[in-house]
Chain A
Amino acid sequence: MSEGKIRVIVAKPGLDGHDRGAKVVARALRDAGMEVIYTGLRQTPEMIAEAALQEDADAVGLSILSGAHMALVPRVLELLKANGQGHVKVFIGGIIPDEDTAPLLEMGVAGIYGPGTLTDTIVNDIRKAVAGEKPA
């Protein structure tokens, strides 16, 4: 009971309503022993950052299929920093064109996962990223 669990927000920003992928990932993270705060569809960046703050999250997973990632992701990163949560790792899943990968990683995204990614890969990446920064 005394060990800290990894806490991850799983959210779908924007207007597309397909949350199957987000649910599969949420379940995989749960099965890996993490506490997943599932916030549901159509979240604004403000709602996601607020949830990350209140829940003292270690990581945020965003599922985006709408193509709006270049608008939504920088906003989430900005808000997290503004709230004093620059240490929170942000991961993206969904449909992200190759040419956007480099700029997103440049902005500070910790990982990007397209269709066909093994859930084990995501789990391991989150564990590693959080271990680097998680306060004792």
Chain B
Amino acid sequence: MNLAQSILEGSRLALARTLSLVENDQPEGQAVLSALFPYTGRAHLVGVTGAPGTGKSSLVNQLARHLRRTPDGDKPRRVAIVAVDPSSPFTGGAILGDRIRMRDLAGDPGVFIRSMATRGSLGGLAAATASVVQVFDAAGYEMVLIETVGAGQAEIEIARLAHTTLVVEAPGMGDDIQAIKAGILEIADVLVINKADYPGVENTERALRSMLELAHPVRRPSLADAPHEDDPDAPIWIPPILRTVATETTGIPELAAAIQRHRQHLESTGGWQQREHERLVAELHILLRESLLQRWMAEVGSAAYQQVLDSLLSRQISPRQAVQQLLAPDTGEKAR
């Protein structure tokens, strides 16, 4: 069976199988990815991140339902969901429970949900997610929702994959100092306060708004021509703050509209191409680094490597000096 061909013809079994192959970084998966690559670059990638318990899975569930009901153009768009949950650092096992909140989507052939565990390293997760997303893109899913438990570097790496990143908050999850901590909020293109029927929603919104004003000093009432968050063609995108109650579908159409506006903004300002460019350059560099290291390790003798490593471990030379010695033109010769 030619997996790439079957995926392009719409086989869900081939798609599921290929997702495993690329997640496990197997040669067969890499070959399918290469065959599929010309068909990628069409999907709108939307990252959804936020602290545990803010209701990300329920929000993704409702968002996918809404997107399925409202066609983009003349045909209903297909939605893929990549739901990432953590692996145990001790056993490597994982409980992937995001499907529990997505049961409304069962039976809809236009929705494909795939759960992923974080498994090993950060870089590994970002690379595996990027590959999984490419497969969905090539398979013709117009929108890919990538859900991650958010609090760290891994989410920022994954957010860099996405065209549009939603950061989900909930009332009562921390004071205004949490909101101005660097990192997670800066990656937001759209801020969502889910569980907006809970007490404390005004405080949360105020904290987020003051954080945004610090980050975007251009948005002042005194500047008549300052960009407005509802104008997708403004040169600067100011993340809108939206309230939702995912369990009651409140605010979901507005959220879908904000995501669409962000897409228009990226397209009209050239941001779309820029994100694609940055992402592909980053991917190229990661792969180059990996294969150069592998090739070099195969060329330099293990004896020479071990010798330099010993000097490094006994602190006779610094790591930087070790690199200089290893990359000196005669090192390879000495080893032979």
Which residues of A pack against B, CB within 8 Å? 1-5, 7, 26-27, 29-40, 43-44, 46-47, 50-51, 53-56, 83-85, 136
Contact = CB atoms under 8 A, between A and B. Distances in A.
A112 B25 CA distance: 34
B124 A33 contact: no
Contact of B13 (A2, A3, A27, A83): A83
B192 to A, nearest CB: 24
B96 interface: yes
Given A1-B121, A53-B13, A54-B114, A36 B26 contact: no
A32 B87 CA distance: 12
Contacts of B293: none
A80 B115 CA distance: 19
A85 B99 contact: no
Interface of B: 12-13, 16-17, 19-20, 24-26, 87-88, 91-97, 99-100, 103, 106-107, 112-115, 117, 119-121, 124, 128
A40 B93 contact: no
B99 A39 contact: yes
28 contacts: A1-B128, A4-B26, A30-B91, A30-B93, A30-B94, A33-B92, A35-B87, A35-B93, A35-B96, A35-B117, A36-B94, A37-B96, A38-B100, A40-B97, A40-B103, A47-B103, A50-B106, A50-B107, A51-B99, A53-B12, A53-B16, A54-B16, A54-B112, A54-B113, A56-B20, A83-B12, A83-B13, A84-B13
Contacts of A3: 24
Given A1-B25, A5-B92, 18 more contacts: A1-B124, A2-B25, A3-B24, A5-B93, A7-B20, A32-B91, A33-B93, A35-B94, A35-B96, A38-B97, A44-B106, A51-B99, A51-B113, A53-B12, A53-B13, A54-B12, A54-B113, A83-B12
B13 A85 contact: yes
A72 B119 CA distance: 33
